[in-house]
Every structure is written in structure tokens, then in C-alpha cells.
Structure 1
Amino acid sequence: MNIKLKYLILCLVSFWAVGAVAQIPSKNLDYYLKQAAFTSPVLKDFQNQQHSAGIDSLIVRATGGPQVTASSAGMYAPIVRGYGYDEVLTNGQALEALLNVNYDLLNKKRINNQLEGIKIQSDSIKYARQLSLYDLQRAIADQYILAYASQEQVDFNQEVVMLLEQEEALLKKLTRSNIYKQSEYLTFLVTLQQQQLVVKQAELQFKNDYATLNYLAGIADTTQVKLADPQLQTASTSMDRGFFNKRFDIDSLKNSNQKNAIDFNYKPKLGVYANGGYNSSFVLQPYKNFGASVGFTFSVPIYDGHQKKMQYNKLSLSAKTISGYRDFFVRQQQQQLNLIRQQINQTDALFPKINEQIRFSKGLIEVDSKLMHTGDLKVADFVIAINNYMAAQNLLRQTNINRLKLINQFNYWNR
């Protein structure tokens, strides 16, 4: 009865363990990219800046219409025993309460230029936000690849431990039957224990890499997950790669907008105004001092020491700087893409050789395992075969991880 009960308990525990493994949620790279974009305060900051630029546009439009202000001023200058301000100048007292309306007649083009400047600023913020998003996605993808590699390392090391444990049970029986020496069994046991420690180290490394991934993505979650294969593919080569060049276009538009602003500062200005209200010195019939007035203002710049030409020279230097940066970046970007493409091709060329090495190593392990069953193989030779297989598998995983990172870099620059 006790034996049956133990067997039942063992079965229940096994089913529970299998169910627990099956319930481990799986998350892919796209999940972390979306979470990082959603939680990033930098992206939210840029979004708020864009909204602020929209408000600035409304403010500029409001300044283009008539401006109405209310003003009031009062003054009393007493004369005591003949001492005080001259009443001819001050009238002794005065009160002013006016409603003023001002309107600039020649401000339409100036307002439009200001609106264009705000639009350029909004485009600049939009570009900065998109660039920040691309940088964030590249960092998340790199860390995801690193965590996925650590996860694969854990799985492989566990498979090796299971293989060694199976052979250890067989070797123990053969040692008891005096087919193998005790020293050979102990040598194999040390190898098994070392591999078990490697599994623990790999698990710790995966936990650290996974925690870093959650940290970068802004995810406060410590539950165990299964990371899916990143499945990154090289994007098709862009002909113009306009995204990175757009920042130079924006700088050129800023230059042009500033030049227009300088031109408007040297154009004539004409404005009209009107006011109405009460303005009196209380000297003569103050109850009749209600009235109104209209007028205009006109100004035209004549000479300011050639400041306009100096400002033009500054803008010309800025344009040359922008052109220099653009040319340098285009060359650098092309060199970067060519180098990464070459590295990807060289990496792809390694896979057939590595897979062939894995196939031979695995075949050797199978042959050596059969020879161990009959006692016709030294344990040291079997350990060497295991180490060669592990080295080949590690090389395959590392090569694949390097390829994924190169693809991530290529897709970043190929925009």
C-alpha cells in the first residue's frame, strides 16, 4: 500500500511540474518594444512639446489680430502755501481711463513666417521623438537578444546535464561490475558536477539579463517567462534613407526661416490705433472730458551699422556647416551599412561549417556512448567528446546572437 501511495504521489508531482512548465507565459520582442514605447517618459515629453508648439501657433495667430487693452492713470500734485509743481505743467491733478485698440496693418507676412517657424520647430520635435524611439527600440532589441541567448544557454546546459546524468547511472553500474575503474567514474562524476554548476551560473545570468530587459522597457514584473525567438530579418535597403537626412533638411528650413525673419525686421511697419474713455485735468468742465481719438504709427529702418549683412553672413556660415555635416554623415552611413552587410554575409558563411561540426560531434557522442555500454571506451575520451559538442553548440549560439545584433544595427541605420 505504501509503495502504491508513493507512486501516486510521484505521478501527481510530475504532472504538476509539467503543468507548471506548460503555463509559463511566452513573450516576444514586439511586446517589449510596445511596452518600452508606452512607458518611456522621454517620448511623452516630446509629445507634450509638440502639443506646446501647437499652442504657440495659436498664440501667434492671436497676436496678429487687433489688440485691446484698458489703461488708467491718476495724478494729484498739491500746492501747500505756494509750494508745489507748476500748475501750468501738471494742471494740479489728472485722471485717465481709456480703452485702446491697436492693429498692425503690415503684419500678415510676418505672422505667416512665425507660424512657419513654429511648424519647423514642431517637425524638429517630431524628428527627435522618432529618433529617440528608434534608439530605444535598438537598445531593447539588443538586450532582448542578450536575454534570449542566456535563456538558450540555460536550456542547452540542462540538456547536457540530463545526458550526463543518464550516462552517470550507467557508468555507476559498470563500475560496480568492475568494467570501469573507480577513478574513471570519479572523473566522470566531477564533469557532471561541473556542468551542474554551469547550469546554475547560466540561470543566474539569464535572471540578470531578463531583469535588465524589464528595466529598460519600464516593466515591473519578476514572473518567469519564456522569451520567443527574436526572428529579426534584414530590412530591404532604402534608396534615399530619408529619415536621418531629414534633420539636415529641418536645419536648412530653420536657416531660411531666420533669413525671412531678418528681412521682415527691415521692412516698413504701419499700425493704426483708436482709444476712447475719460481724460481730464479737472480744470475746466471735467464732466465733459469724455472722448475718443484715432491715429497711426509708421516706421522704416534706415541705418543700423550694416547689422543685416552681418546676420546674413552668420546664416551663410550656418548653411555651410549644415552641408558639411550632411555630406559627412551620408558617407559615414554608407560605410556603416556596407561594413555591417559584409559582417552579416561572413557570419552566414559560418553556419554550414558549424552545423557540420555539431553533426560530427553529436555522432561521436552516440558512438562513444555505445562503446561505454560495453566498456570499450575510456571515460576521458567520452568527456572530450562531450566538451567538443558543447563548444560547437556554444559557437553556434554565439554566432547566431552576433548575427541578430548585426541585423538590429543594420535595420537601425537603414532608414
Structure 2
Amino acid sequence: MLRLFFTLGVIFCCFAGYGKTARNLSYYIEFAKTSSPLLHDYKGRIEIQQMEEQRLKAVYIRSKLELNGEFLFVPIISKDGGKTSFLWNAQNGTDYYGYDLGESSGHLYAGFTWTQPLLGGGLYEASRKQTEIQAAIQSNNMRLEKHQLERTVTEQYLLCLLDKSLVGLADSVRRVLQQQELIVQELVQDGILRQSDLHLLAIEKAANYDLKTASWQSYCTHLSDLNILCGITDTAKVELDAVCLFPEIKNNPISLFLEQYRLDSLNVAANLRVFKLQYKPRLNLFVNGGLQVSNYTHVYRHLGWNAGLTFSWTIFDGRQKRWQEQQMQVQMRTISAYKAHERFQNEEHKKKCLSEMQLYGERLNALCGQLSEYDTVLVNYLKEIRAGQRSVVDYITVLRNKIQAERDYVTLQTNRQLLIAAYNYWNW
């Protein structure tokens, strides 16, 4: 009795929780993309790369204005004139303890420095192309993540549809058993069948009821997992639309999975170009202006400015550039190896999916033939039962086999759809 109450409660909860609001696969895929934190992360990285391009422009091309200053005091203990005293910033002295005032004396500097790079255009252009490549890498990562989400959500959605189909199958079996129960009741009353035959049908109804309950529980679990995967928090009653997937025909012969390796190669080459540009001559124009004094009398007379050029050119660096080039070659070989392995795996996955899809198609055709034979046998058995020539046990045995075949058929259909989803994922 407790088990009966439990199963009734589970079914009531499932029916109460999921109702008539129709939702399709596209709804869940779009919701998953919207709520994915990783996609938001990639989008933010792209925006950061765009901001980085403007920062590099400011570093290599635009001028810079700095406000700076320095105040230095040199205290001494003076004994000039036979009197000992502490001077916090002496300008001169002959008899004292402290730093040599001829070598170090207090001074004050306050002003600004304006600097304008004159040869930064090449370095900026190389750095700009590097940031564009890095932004393209993030965009490609976003595409890969969206593609992965589409596959994951599709697979979870198909599992929900499988449970839904099994529930529908249990309902159809219940209706068949109810019809047979009415027929058997009439035959029992006519003395053709025994009361135990009715008990057998009751047992089958209870077993079918348990299968339906298990399917509903699985449906509830899979749908809850689908909502979690997509970031859906509402508890609206839903009815999932059916979906029928087909292998997608690809026009582009090159897999888009290989795009990430092309971008990685470009990024390595761009890093090397930026590294080499530090060996180009660097020329900056600067202007300094402000106050600079070491004697604090007539401070106002020491306001001034100066200007000049700074030049630097790296002639020898201990062969750092050579080692950097060798590192790039190793990175390129590694990327090529990953690319070849990815191409191999991609082709093998597609071949495997196509081969298994063909086998599933053959098995589905065979099951269709079996189900047709089962229908014929059940019709003949029912006629023989009415004539008293066949027992209900034989009918139930065949019915059980048919139900199992129908469950296998539904499961095979879902597995084939999952294979199509996997093939479309790799054939991208």
C-alpha cells in the first residue's frame, strides 16, 4: 500500500510540475547561450583586446605629459664660529659634520616632462595586429563554446524526449490491457476463461504502471538537468516539442575546428614580430620645464625649461633574438602536430558516426518487421482466446515481447538521433 501511495505521489508531482507550455530545442539552446558565463567571459576578453589596442596607440604614438618633482635636503652639524648648531639644509660651511657639501647639497626641482615618440608607428602597427589576432582567437573560442553548447543541450533534450516517448508507450500499453481486460471478463463470465487469467492481466497492468512511473521519474530528472544546463530557474509547466535531426551537408571542406590552430600560428608569428621591433632604433622628443634650484635665495629667478632628443638602438643582446626565433619554430611544430591530430580525430569521428547510423537504420528496419509480426500474432491469439483455443498466458508472453521490442525501437531511434547530433557536431 505504501508503494502504491508513493508511485501515485510521484506521478502527481510530475504531472503537476510539467504541463502545456510548449518549448522547443531552439529555446533551450538560446537560453543556454545567454546564460553561459564562459561566453560572457569570451565577450569581455574581446572588449578588453579592443581597449588594449587603444592603450597601445597611446603608448607608441601619442605624447605623454608628466608632473614630477624632487626636494633634497642635506642636514649637517656645524661648528663654524666656535658655535655648534644643527642646520637642516646648509648651503655652505667649513667646519661641520655631515655629507661633503661640495659633493652633495640640497636642491629643489618641480616641473613637468612632455615626451613624444617619433619612431613608434611600426611598433604600434605590429602590436595592433597582434591584438587583432588575439581578439580573433577569443571570437573563435566563443564560436567553439556555442557549438559545444548546442551539442550538449541537444543530447539532453533528446534524453527528455526518450523518457516522454516511453511514457506514451506505457499509456498505449495501458489502453491495450484495459481493452483485453474487458474481453477476458466477458469470457470468464461465459466460462471460457478462468478468474486467474484476469489476475494475470492485473499483474501486467501493475508492471506497466511501474514502468510508466519510472519513465516519469527519469523525465523529471532529465528535464531538471536540462534546466540547470541552460540556466533556467522558472518552474513553468512545459511540453517539449518533438525534434527530428538530419545529417547536415557541409559546403566548406575545411573543418572549422582547425581554425584555432591557424590563429595560434598567426599569434606566435605576431609575438615574434613585436619582439624583433625592440631592436629597431627608438627616438623620442622631450621637453622639461619648471623650477630647479640648489640655493634658495632668489628662487623665482630659476624657472626655466629645456628640450632634447633621446635615442637608443640595441646592437647586441647576447643572441636573445636567435633564441626567440628557435622558440617560435618549436611552437609552430607543436601547433602543426595538434592540428594534424585534430584533423585525424575529426575524420574518424565522422566515419564512426556514419557507420553506426547505418547499423542503427538496419536494426530499426528489422524491429519494424518484428513489430508487424507481433501485431499479427496478437490478433490471431486474441481470436484463439475467444474460441477457447489459446490461454491468456501465451497472449501476455507475446505482448511482453512486443512491448520490449517497442521500447527497443524508441531507444534505437533516440540513439540514432544522438549519433546525428554528434555527426553534425564534428562535421562543422
One-letter amino acid of the counterpart of residue 88, structure 1: G
Q: Which of 372, 378, 383 is 1:370 aligned to?
A: 383
Distance 1:392 1:206, change over 3 A: same
Residues 338 and 277 from structure 1, CA distance in 2 versus in 1: closer, same or farther, beyond 3 angstroms? same
Alignment of 1:29-108 (within 5 A): 29-64=25-60, 65-81=62-78, 82-91=96-105, 93-108=106-121
> Superposition pairs for residues 253-292 of structure 1, below 5 Å?
253-282=266-295, 285-292=298-305
Distance in 2, matches of 1:35 and 1:251, equals 30
Alignment partner of 2:285: what SS?
Answer: strand
Q: How does 1:317-356 map to 2 (within 5 A)?
A: 317-356=330-369
- Measured after TM superposition, the shift of residue 171 of structure 1 is 1.3
Task: Select between 247-256 and 173-182 the one with higher mean Cα deviation.
Answer: 173-182
Q: Say if 2:18 and 2:238, in contact at 8 Å, map to a contact too.
A: no
**Aligned residue number for residue 143 of structure 2:** 130
Identity of aligned residues (%): 23
The reply to whether residue 392 of structure 1 matches residue 405 of structure 2 is yes
CA RMSD across the alignment? 2.0
State the 1:145 CA deviation.
Answer: 0.4
Provide the C-alpha distance between the structure 2 equivalents of 1:73 and 1:393, rounded to a whole number of angstroms. 89
Deviation, 1:340, is: 1.0
Q: Residues of 1 paired with 2:296 and 2:44: CA distance?
A: 58
Between 260-269 and 289-298, report the one with greater CA deviation: 260-269
Q: Distance in 2 between matches of 1:229 and 1:331?
A: 34
Structure 1 gaps of 5+ residues are 1-19
- Using the alignment, how far apart are the partners of 1:242 and 1:101 within structure 2? 52
The superposition leaves residues 298-344 of structure 1 with CA deviations (integer Å, 9 ceiling, x where unpaired) of 12222222111111111111111111111221122112111211221
Question: Normalised by the size of structure 1, how large is the TM-score?
Answer: 0.90
**Contact between 1:36 and 1:218, CA under 8 Å: does it hold in 2?**
yes
SS at match of 2:77: coil
Per-residue deviation at 1:120?
1.2
Say whether 1:218 aligns with 2:215: no
- Structure 1 residue 139: Cα displacement: 0.8
What corresponds to 1:9 in structure 2? none
SS in 2 for 1:96: strand
Contact persistence 1:142–1:405 (CA under 8 A): yes
Any conservation in 2 of the 1:241–1:414 contact (CA below 8 Å)? no
> Which sections of structure 2, spanning at least 5 residues, go unmatched?
1-15, 79-95
Matching of residue 383 in structure 1 with residue 396 in structure 2: yes
- One-letter amino acid matched to 1:112: E
* Match of residue 245, structure 1, among 253, 258, 262: 258
What are the equivalent positions in structure 2 for 1:90-239 lying under 5 Å apart?
90-91=104-105, 93-239=106-252
Q: Aligned pair in 2 of structure 1 residues 32, 114: CA closer, same or farther (>3 Å)?
A: same
Shift of 1:22: 12
- Residues in 2 aligned to 1:402 and 1:235: alpha-carbon distance in whole angstroms: 17
Contact map agreement 1:120 1:254 (CA 8 A) in 2: yes
2:315 alignment partner AA: I
Equivalence map 1:305-316=2 (5 Å): 305-316=318-329
Count of residues in Structure 1 that have an aligned counterpart in Structure 2 = 395
SS, match of residue 70 in structure 1: strand
Question: 2:97 aligns to what SS in structure 1?
Answer: coil
What is aligned with 2:90? none
Deviations 1:349-386 (A, max 9, x none): 33332222212212322333333334332101110221
Shifted more, 337-346 versus 179-188: the winner is 179-188
Q: Does 1:410 align with 2:423?
A: yes
Does residue 1:361 correspond to 2:381, yes or no? no
Contact 2:75 2:98 (8 Å CA) reproduced: yes
Structure 2 counterpart of 1:260, one-letter code: R
Amino acid at match of 1:146: L
1:221 alignment partner AA = D
Provide, for residues 82-102 of structure 1, a one-character-per-residue CA deviation record: whole Å limited to 9, x for no partner. Answer: 2233322333x3111111011
Of stretches 109-118 and 179-188 in structure 1, the one that deviates more from structure 2 is: 179-188
In the superposition, the TM-score normalised over structure 2's length comes to 0.88
